[in-house]
Amino acid sequence: MLNVRLKLRNVIAVAICLAGSATMFAQETGVVINGVTWATRNVGAPGEFADKPEDGGMYYQWNSKVGWSLIDEELVPSDGTSVWNSEWDGNGATTWEPTNNPCPKGWRVPTETELESLLNSGYEWTTLPVNGGVFGNGENTIFLPATGAIWDNGIFQCYGSFGEYWSSTFKDLVFDENGTDYNVPPNRAFGLPVRCVKCGTTAINEVSTDTKNAAVTGYFDILGRKLKEEPKQGIYIILYDNGKTEKVMK
């Protein structure tokens, strides 16, 4: 059973990675933070990274591969034909589907566990070169521009005031000059930027023994999806309030 589950995990990971477009705007090697390789730039058009780290890229509704940009105060879709859908519900999915992966080939939308790991790695608000947050520790840091969001009604708000980024499991990372937060956004129809992680890396592979005096904050399956309670058998991840994780096999 263990071998079957490990093979299933590998198949899913490969499917997500191969679903990304083969086009890459420029070479991206990424930065490793807490065992996860993060891209240094947001997603631009589907399958491409933005030109520079300070570029906001395009905005995506949850579980959608259509990117949106704001040109002359009008929302413009990456495919030239889509119409903004204020009722978008992600097609009823519970995780970002591989066929809708907007990241370049070899990259994918991060899980909520990976975003939480990034949040816990260190944070500093900065105004150079544009407003945004620096995440990471030591020399391993990435910059996320404060790109605001497109509300579900299609109204663009607050560029430069806050940043909000999707995870693959419908939770988002939010930050501004006052700090960070991690929550469930009110609507899948929001348009948010995406910062990709490299396929084959995941924060849940980090096993720490520094959990003796820490409190459990959540349980996750091997794909980083949060569970309602601790499983009685199988492979799962425990997340502690000090940001550490522990892999358990029963």
Is the preceding peptide bond at 129 cis, omega within 30 degrees of 0? yes
What is the model's pLDDT at position 209? 46
> Which CA distances in Å does 124 have to 142, 165, 213?
11, 16, 27
- Of the pLDDT bands very low, low, confident and very high (cuts 50, 70, 90), residue 157 is confident
Q: Which residue has the tokens 């994918």?
A: 108
Mean pLDDT value of segment 146-161: 92
What do you get for the CA distance between the two ends of the chain, in Å? 11
Rounded to whole angstroms, what are the CA distances from 26 to 22, 59, 116, 156? Answer: 12, 19, 27, 28
pLDDT one-digit tens code per residue, 173-187: 999 999 998 777 668
Q: Where are the domains of the chain?
A: 2-203, 206-249
pLDDT of residue 4: 33
* pLDDT for position 166: 95
Residue-wise pLDDT tens digits, 32-88: 998 899 999 999 999 999 999 999 999 999 999 999 998 888 999 999 999 999 999
Contact call for residues 166 and 197 (beta carbons, < 8 A): no
| Confidence at residue 242, expressed as pLDDT on a 0 to 100 scale | 66
| 86, amino acid identity | S
* C-alpha neighbours within 13 Å on the C-beta side of residue 186: 6
> Is pLDDT at 3 greater than 50 in this prediction?
no
pTM to 2 decimals? 0.73
- State yes or no: pLDDT of 25 exceeds 50: no
Q: How far is Cα of residue 145 from the mean position of the Cα atoms in its chain?
A: 14
C-alpha dist (Å) from residue 89 to 8, 100, 114, 171, 194: 27, 14, 23, 14, 18
* DSSP code for 43: B
With residue 4 as reference, give the H or E element that holds it.
Answer: helix 2-19
Quickly list H helices, 79-190: 112-119
The single-letter DSSP state of residue 110 is: P
